[in-house]
Structure 1
Amino acid sequence: MTTDRATADADDRARYERVFAATHRRVLAYVVRRVSDPSDAVDIVADTYLVAWRRVADLPDDEQSVAWLLAVARRCLANHRRSHTRRVALTDRLAASLEAIVPPPGEPKELSDVHRALSRLEPEDLELLRLLEWDGLDRAEIATVLGISRNAVRVRLHRARRRFANALASEQPPQPHPRVAAPAYSREGS
């Protein structure tokens, strides 16, 4: 029984190789004429012949093989176009969400002061503040992420906030205190 299967496998392989040798240029030309980027054609042709190998029992071994393979290539092209459309849409959605997370260049001065102050923090302080404020984790979740106790998170967070406040204060020029007008005294009552 195993020799029958081995013989059938050898026959399938030989038929596949004959069909590939006879058709691959025509299939490639068909695909190249239908894609905007020729490098995509290589992937689509590879997908076409992968389908042919998986369905080698259905693969015609005569003049019908070209038409059969072009039908497979047509479906592979359609799949490629759909995946390209989905990929572009996903890229657009990711870009939009990235803009919501990371402000575009030309940010306001106050924000650049924040970035400079954050860049002056130690990495441990910066990570704590990011986990809390940017990632929205609570103290217990931060403790899990960092592998420390909740009490250690509380203490380190207090210190990180204080260091951040000091760094931010040093980034901003001192604000003049509002002048308090001297009380006006009337000479009438004196």
Structure 2
Amino acid sequence: MSSGTEHEERFRRIYASNFQPLLAYALRRAAQPEDAADVVAETFLVAWRRGHEMPADAEVKLWLYGVARRILANHHRTGLRRERLGERLRHRMRAAVAADPGSEVPERLAIQAALARLGELDREVLTLTVWEGLEPREVAMVLRVDPAVVRTRLSRARARLRDLISDDLAPPGHVLDVLTAPAPKEGR
């Protein structure tokens, strides 16, 4: 019998006699049954890869429990990191939404409709300047046009937007204050 065959046969015996006890161990310690199944699968993967390190058959069960225990600890740490990352992302998302001028005005749909009626270049110049806080020279770089074109388009887009938004939005000027905020000064 070759060494590879002996390794496979031993692994099969160990797997058959230890699968159920390891699964029960993992189920009692994991948050979800799926996590327990992952722990058992990873434990036997380690056993397969490190078969030469496994102790004699009488002690292999304890060795497998030790491997499963470390894998459970890793899963727990990974879960905590995932939760912390999720909380940081949720916090950043709330901050980003709160900073979005479109979410601060009750007339958001009216603004979107008015913006949709602007030409594509005018709309892009206006939103890049006001919402993204880019300077006209930066907008010009993004759009690959001359900065003078951006300044002219920005002035026209603001005037056109004022005309498109009806006077019956209350309070007067509220929407326009957000959309026509002064453009950032260019650093020269």
Q: Normalised by the size of structure 1, how large is the TM-score?
A: 0.67
Distance 2:153 2:48 in 1: 60
Query: Aligned partners of 1:26 and 1:117: how far apart in 2?
Result: 63
Paired residue type of 2:169: Q
Shift in Å at residue 45 of structure 1?
A: 1.6
Which residue identity is paired with 1:33? R
Return the alpha-carbon distance in structure 2 between the equivalents of residues 47 and 80 of structure 1.
11
**Match in the other structure for 2:93:** 98
The one of 109, 114, 118 aligned to 2:112? 118
Q: 2:32 aligns with which of 29, 37, 57?
A: 37
- Seq. identity, %: 38
Distance 2:15 2:87 in 1: 39
Whole-Å Cα distance in 2 between the matches of residues 111 and 93 of structure 1? Answer: 26
CA distance in 2, matches of 1:38, 1:119: 49
Query: Counterpart of 2:53 in structure 1: which amino acid?
Result: D
Secondary structure of 1:121 counterpart: helix
RMSD over aligned Cα atoms: 3.6
Distance 1:157 1:67 in 2: 72
Residue 96 of structure 1: how far off its partner (Å): 1.3
Decide whether aligned partners of structure 1 residues 114 and 27 sit closer, same or farther in structure 2, where only a CA change above 3 A counts.
Answer: same
Distance 2:21 2:79 in 1: 24
Post-superposition offset of 1:48:
1.6
Match of 1:26 in 2: 21
Say which is worse superposed, 11-20 or 69-78, in terms of deviation.
Answer: 11-20
Per-residue deviation, 1:60: 3.5
Structure 1 unmatched ranges of 5 or more: 1-6, 176-190
Aligned-partner Cα distance in 2 for 1:160–1:79: 55
- Kept after mapping to 1: 8 A contact 2:114/2:165: no
Do 1:140 and 1:150's aligned partners in 2 also have CA atoms closer than 8 Å?
A: no
Cα distance change of structure 1 residues 131 and 52 upon mapping to structure 2, 3 Å threshold: farther
- Partner residue in 1 for 2:169: 172
The one-letter code matched in structure 1 to 2:23 is L
How far apart are residue 111 of structure 1 and its match? Answer: 1.0
- Cα–Cα, structure 1 residues 115 and 103, in superposed 2: closer, same or farther, change >3 Å? farther
> Following superposition of structure 1 onto structure 2, how do residues 1-190 of structure 1 map, counting pairs within 5 Å?
7-60=2-55, 62-103=57-98, 111-114=105-108, 116-122=110-116, 124=120, 128-138=125-135, 142=139, 148-151=143-146, 154=150, 157-169=154-166, 172-173=169-170, 175=172
Report the structure, 1 or 2, having the larger helix content. Answer: 2
Please state how far the C-alpha of 1:132 moved relative to its aligned partner: 4.0
Tell me how far apart the structure 1 counterparts of residues 167 and 18 of structure 2 sit (CA, whole Å). 72
Structure 2, unaligned stretches of length 5 or more? Answer: 173-188
Q: Find the aligned partners of 1:83 and 1:133 in 2 and give their Cα distance.
A: 40
The one-letter amino acid of 1:16's match is: F
**CA separation of 1:119 and 1:30: change in aligned 2, threshold 3 A:** farther
Measured after TM superposition, the shift of residue 129 of structure 1 is 4.5
SS at 1:112 equivalent: coil
